[in-house]
Amino acid sequence: MADPEFDIIVYGATGYTGRLVAEYLSNHYGSSDNAPKWAMAGRSQDKLESVRDEIGAPADTPLVVADAEDMASLEAMCERTKVVLTTVGPYQLYGDNLVAACVKTGTDYADLCGEPAWMAEKIAEHQEEAAKTGARICFSSGFDSIPFDLGVLMTQKVAKERFGKPAPRIRGRVRAMAGTFSGGTAASLGATMKAAARNPSIINVLRDPFALAPGFDGPSQPTGMIPMYEKDLDKWAAPFVMAPINTKNVHRTNFLAGHPYGEDFQYDEMMLTSPGEAGKKMAEAAAEMMKNPFGAKPPKPGEGPSKEERENGFYDVLFVADMGDGKVVHYGVKGKYDPGYGSTSRMLTETGIALLSCDKPGGVGTPGYFLGEALVKRLEEHAELTFAAEN
């Protein structure tokens, strides 16, 4: 079979996040020697042309028309490329056909999915066939869950180098964050809640930290849902809205890799406030907000912050590896730009480029499993993330 026409197709390029991905590809790589051959895809030729011109992409940037409801058009699109990057969510509403088309054609795929029940369903449906066709289906390739998935991977690397074994427990703690969650994230949560109301068994998937590790029943995990004072950090910790998906992806990476973190590994995520009574009140307020994390007027898909707001955003995550004998590793992952848009669009793009050189077998996986340290290197070199031990 001849090589595909493109390295990467950005599907959903006329949406808010999709156009950021296309803009980053155009601006960051341009016509350089290492530039991937890429195209923009969506339902409307006219909208694709308009967005191409708005973002300043070259006039000869290829455009591909494909519709999430038209399986033939999706398969035709997949046959033209090595990797599809999709921002068309909620994925449980619009993603089934594209995943199936990628699996059928052996095309690599990366998305921004934070919908664990749908992901568990796709693992059950496609893991076996993807292994046969060679398609690498890489979920959660944005702020959920790359900084956390790769942060744990790198923290464990340091633990093994220093102490000869992995840490039995790691705490992920968001120290600071400025920016917004995407409208797609809010829509995904809403779609998940509606699906759970129709099918209560989905609640069990959402509660199970090993829902993406089928057949593995791991140890009891800290919930991260109750505010607590962490003496070693001298700060209060509050529930973190992305923890339910991030923790599942961390455990899937460990599962797919053959449990290099250990089969007794424990992991949880929370958000740090401050010490004292003020910190306690902030943590309690954050816990209350978890009942409705996006408020009365959640962001809508297609909406997002201004360029200035995106560029002024940032995030800072601490990983604390507790070795069980008093020894600890502190490891930090920091990123520039708004986490839900500016940084996420860069992470998804670099995931797609890294997949071009991936030699892992096909299947349904995670960035940590498929790409690991190769993606860490790309993110440091291109996307302005930093990964570093702090003690």
275-308 residue pLDDT tens: 999 999 999 998 888 777 766 677 676 777 888 9
- Model confidence pLDDT, tens digit, residues 357-384: 999 999 999 999 999 999 999 999 999 9
Tokens, residue 98: 């594209």
Angle at 150 between CA 215 and CA 384, to 5 degrees: 155
Q: What is the pLDDT of residue 197?
A: 79
* Domain identity same for 297 and 159: yes
Phi, psi of 182 (to 5 degrees): -75, 160
Contact 295, 308 (CB under 8 A): no
Are 158 and 134 within one domain?
no
pLDDT score, position 305: 83
Instruction: Decide: helix, strand or coil at residue 380.
Output: helix
Domain boundary among 138, 173, 194: 138
Classify residue 367: in a domain, yes or no: no
> Does residue 360 form part of some domain?
no
- Any domain includes 293: yes
Q: Is the pLDDT of residue 88 over 70?
A: yes
pLDDT in tens, 249-272: 999 999 999 999 999 999 999 999
State residue 283's pLDDT score: 93
Residue 283 lies in a domain: yes
pLDDT score of 108 more than 80: yes
| Residue among 385, 321, 278, 6 at smallest CA distance from 170 | 321
Contacts of 217 (CB under 8 A, 6+ apart): 210
- Structural domain contains residue 350: no
Q: How, if at all, do strands 169-178 and 266-272 pair?
A: parallel
Mean pLDDT, the chain, rounded, equals 93
Q: Is position 90 within any domain?
A: yes
Please tell me whether residues 216 and 112 are part of one structural domain.
no
Range of weakest confidence among 30-44, 89-103, 232-246, 375-389: 30-44
In the predicted model, is pLDDT for residue 324 greater than 80? yes
Residue where one domain finishes, among candidates 138, 171, 188: 138
- Mark whether 379 and 298 lie in a shared domain: yes
| Number of structural domains the chain divides into | 2
Q: Check residue 292 and give its pLDDT.
A: 73
Residues 85 and 183 in one domain: no
pLDDT at 106: 98
pLDDT of residue 124: 97
Q: Tokens 């708005």 label which residue?
A: 54
| Shared domain check, 110 and 169 | no
pLDDT at 195: 80
pLDDT of residue 187: 75
pLDDT at 291: 74
* 3-class DSSP string for 107-154: CEEECCCCCHHHHHHHHHHHHHHHHHHCCEEECCCECCEHHHHHHHHH
Asked if residue 75 and residue 183 are part of one domain, the reply reads no
pTM above 0.85, yes or no: yes
Closest CA to 339 of 155, 145, 192, 115: 145
Q: Is residue 10 part of a domain?
A: yes
Nearest C-alpha neighbor of 183 from the set 297, 92, 69, 322 = 297
| Average pLDDT of the segment spanning 329-355 | 96
**Do 252 and 287 reside in the same domain of the chain?**
yes
Instruction: List 6's β-bridge partners, or say none.
Output: 81
Provide the pLDDT for residue 25: 96
Asked if 373 and 358 touch (Cβ cutoff 8 Å), the reply is: no
Domain match, 93 and 172 both? no
In this predicted structure, what is the pLDDT of residue 295? 66
Percent of the chain with pLDDT over 90: 83
In a domain, 332, yes or no: yes
Mean pLDDT of all residues in 324-350: 96
Where among 89, 108, 138 does a domain terminate?
Answer: 138
CATH number for position 63: 3.40.50.720
More confident residue, 301 or 100: 100
SS3 105: helix
230 and 308 co-located in one domain: yes
Whether residue 193 contacts residue 202, with contact meaning beta carbons closer than 8 Å, is answered with: no
Q: How far apart are CA 367 and CA 345, in angstroms?
A: 15
Q: Quick one: 104 and 156 in the same domain?
A: no
Domain range for 381: 146-340+375-389
**Which pLDDT band holds residue 107 (cuts at 50, 70, 90)?**
very high
Report residue 239 as tokens.
């529930």
